[in-house]
Structure 1
Amino acid sequence: MGRRFKLAFLSGKSWSHSFIKEFYSMSAGIDKIAFFTSPYFIDMTDLANARGEDPNKYLIGIGQQKQAVIPPTQDVVTLAANAASSILTPADKASIDMVILGTESGIDNSKAAAIYVQSLLGISKRARSFEVKQACYGGTAGIQMGMDHLRSHPTSKVLVIASDIARYGLNTPGEVTQGGGAVAMLLTADPRILVIEDKTAFHSDNIMDFWRPLYRREALVDGHYSNNVYVDFFNQTWRDYQNRYQLAIDDFNALIFHLPYPKMGLKALRSIVHESHHPTQLMAAFDAAKTYNSQVGNLYTGSLYLSLLSLLANDTMLKPHDRIGLFSYGSGAQGEFYSARIGDGVKPDDLRQQLNSQLNNRRQLTIAEYEALYETSLPLDGGDRTFDTRTDHSPYILKGRIDNRRQYEYQNGETGSKKEQPAK
């Protein structure tokens, strides 16, 4: 397809209707995908006991079992770099011509976190590199922008990373829905993991259900209102999608959701599952798709795509070319429902082994240790700071800040050597 497009362009020939139709229906989507999170976690039973709550309120009412604790030595840049580094080959880095980082935990009001990631990973400097923000929708916005780029440049490769740290504060109602991590996705033509269809419906409205002002590290949220808006936006986009493409719920083998906590997606699924002749299959797929979210917590922009990874690794019924529906939501608010088909190159056993290995090798913190890490961070009002990095063995770490410049470091896991990245 890429060669045919180039020849048509160079020859100056006009494009036929059939060529344009074929061109815009090209197969493109996620060719590689990886996840990274902190090496630390807390158990939700421990948190419930420390806060004087019934553990079932967290384990069943929220659907959360464990929660990632992000140390001060990790930020959205290092989380993103750690996720992407595990899937990118030297050839990928040379051919990527667009880097998009979706986040609502940006580190600068001007300079995109994507620029840091591009530099840390050694990605070609002939790439567009920028950051996208719309609450938890940023990763999906990045994917759709990347898909548009691929449809015009089918030989390209686009790196999209959804990286975030969810913070609501200690001893707050939202504390149980904290977490963090990054999902990196390499978009190409003829993808092995997920073929994204050019079928989508979206809805936006100016709503104050969740926001994080520039002067705050923690979010402000109207929890009950946000839950209701989430389900409303799902139903709005789902109905629009159905009307636009004449597809019913039984045309899907699975529906997955943005999961700030697992129970939230379940509420949305329950609102339409009665329309299916195979509700048990959809519920089983949802259970598979929430597995890792319940072990990590809220990833904001990455939550939907951790759920995708969980589905691919844990659902035993999915086959290549099965259609799945994806619902993305970002407070404020933006919702989108789109569809995709499972690729021929998915290897569930490999994905499951990689993710289980990462999550099982984390260290459990006491609540006191968690609280101490939570309170350790770069001051919002500036100033130099150096962190103790001896216990964080992640490949990419944040050492601290000098002269208003963040100091990143690459740790070679094989030799134990370290390479300091110059301040940019």
Structure 2
Amino acid sequence: MKIGIDKIGFYTPHLYVDMNKLAVERNVEPEKFTIGIGQEKMAIPPITQDSVTLAANAALEILDDNDKEQIDFVIFGTESGIDHSKSAGVYVHELLDINPYARSIEVKQACYGATAAIQMAKGHIALHPTSKVLVLGSDIARYGLNTGGEATQGAGAVAMLISADPKVMVLEDKTAYLTKDIMDFWRPVYSDKAFVDGKFSNEQYIAFFQQVWERYKKQTGLGLSDFEAICYHLPYTKMGLKALRTVLDETTEEVQERLTTNYKVSTTYNRNVGNIYTGSLYLSLLSLLELKEDLPEGSRIGLYSYGSGAVGELFSGILQPNYREHLYVERHKQLFDDRTEVTVAEYEEIFQHTLPTDGSNIELDIGKDPAAICVSGITEHMRQYVNKHR
């Protein structure tokens, strides 16, 4: 049975800050942000957006009534969950009016969460071939103002419909994965900002890639020449290139050029959104599929997922006939075109304007947020959500 990605979409908030201007305000050479880490713009979530609404908005645009009826599993990968008990998936399930006879859960392992969700979805569909699974990767990356990680913040979500006989990409079964207990990045339950050992995390990202790549080659007999492109989890867009370069000497100059060129295309959306943790790898995949117009049907695309702490996995997918007909290219172009730039001072104000954590009630003005689904406030410790399309 062929199982994979039938639909894929994403959402990012309508506000962003220009990385050149942020660099100037931080007394940093702009090239350090735009070239050194490879970021141009950073998405800024208003107080009316959280991981739930970002995911719901991403899924809203790709699901039709038939999908909502056939979905019997919602798996929400995130490290920006809003509740220690209730899953973010349950909120999205209700906001989108999905078939009530479904499972809805949340999974967590840093940026690896959405990949874990995809593998769970494949197993579910293997047992229930007529089912569809909604996989969500949604996060808000926060390190704090004037911190070393500030330039690698971002916000957004990717939604994927996983099914049998998918229209976009069949996911191949052979995969290589690795787990090690390390402290390269973490966020204790008492903190709304992450802690990171940047140098160590970069080293581990590359080391994990090298190890799962070697294991993948042994399990599959495949090499670099068998891939049209390899997409990477992108905490910042220069990171994946560092990993790719460690294995390029295994192949010809022609293949090196192809993989490097396609890698650059795959980073375009991420360069203009920032780090979205669980969704970053799949935003990179979406960038490649939508912007590389001559990407051949039948191409094998490698996917490297890394979640600090740490779990890494390398797997692959095959692009299906007429896959481009099932993408939402114009819709995503419009999403980018409609964004509004904010000044650094405005960004700082938005960053510090957060929901109360002391149990206070609050009512928010959602009129300024163009998103269909928003956080409208907190009442009696319960977040209130609004779907404006209802």
TM range (shorter): over 0.9
Which residue pairs with 1:342 in the alignment? 319
Which residue pairs with 2:22 in the alignment? 47
Which of 326, 345, 353 is residue 303 of structure 2 equivalent to?
A: 326
1:108 aligns with 2:83: yes
The alpha-carbon deviation at position 349 of structure 1 amounts to 10
- Runs (4 or more) in structure 1 with deviation over 6 Å come to none
The alpha-carbon deviation at position 354 of structure 1 amounts to 2.2
The SS at the match of 2:234 is coil
AA aligned to 1:283 is T
Equivalence map 1:70-89=2 (5 Å):
70-89=45-64
Q: How far apart, in 2, do the equivalents of 1:288 and 1:188 lie? A: 27
Which residue pairs with 1:187 in the alignment? 162
1:279 aligns with 2:274: no
The alpha-carbon deviation at position 381 of structure 1 amounts to 3.0
Q: How far apart, in 2, do the equivalents of 1:317 and 1:271 lie? A: 27
TM-score (norm 1): 0.90
Higher relative contact order (CA 8 A, sep 6+): 2
AA aligned to 1:197 is E
AA aligned to 2:336 is L
Larger Rg: 1
Which residue pairs with 2:197 in the alignment? 222
Gaps of 5+ in 2: none
Q: How far apart, in 1, do the equivalents of 2:42 and 2:326 lie? A: 24
1:163 aligns with 2:138: yes
Which of 129, 134, 153 is residue 109 of structure 2 equivalent to?
A: 134
AA aligned to 1:124 is N
1:225-272 per-residue CA deviation (whole Å, 9 max, x = no partner) reads: 000000000011110000111111111111110001000001001111
Which residue pairs with 1:300 in the alignment? 277
Q: How far apart, in 2, do the equivalents of 1:182 and 1:402 lie? A: 25
1:370 aligns with 2:344: no
Q: How far apart, in 2, do the equivalents of 1:348 and 1:324 lie? A: 18
The SS at the match of 1:325 is strand
The alpha-carbon deviation at position 345 of structure 1 amounts to 3.3
Gaps of 5+ in 1: 1-25, 413-418, 420-424
The alpha-carbon deviation at position 350 of structure 1 amounts to 5.6
Which residue pairs with 1:361 in the alignment? 338
Q: How far apart, in 1, do the equivalents of 2:270 and 2:315 lie? A: 20
Q: How far apart, in 1, do the equivalents of 2:230 and 2:168 lie? A: 16
The SS at the match of 1:268 is helix
Which residue pairs with 1:235 in the alignment? 210
1:117 aligns with 2:84: no
Q: How far apart, in 2, do the equivalents of 1:112 and 1:166 lie? A: 19
Which residue pairs with 1:67 in the alignment? 42
AA aligned to 2:384 is Q
The SS at the match of 1:198 is coil
AA aligned to 1:282 is L
Contact 2:125–2:131 (Cα < 8 Å) also in 1? yes
AA aligned to 1:333 is A
Equivalence map 1:406-417=2 (5 Å):
406-412=383-389
1:133-175 per-residue CA deviation (whole Å, 9 max, x = no partner) reads: 0000000000000001111111110000101000000010100
AA aligned to 1:82 is N
Contact 2:7–2:326 (Cα < 8 Å) also in 1? no
Which residue pairs with 2:372 in the alignment? 395
Q: How far apart, in 2, do the equivalents of 1:273 and 1:400 lie? A: 50
The SS at the match of 1:390 is helix
The alpha-carbon deviation at position 348 of structure 1 amounts to 7.2
Q: How far apart, in 1, do the equivalents of 2:86 and 2:241 lie? A: 37
Name whichever of 400-409 and 312-321 sits farther off: 312-321
Name whichever of 384-393 and 37-46 sits farther off: 384-393
Q: What's the % identity of the aligned pairs?
A: 51
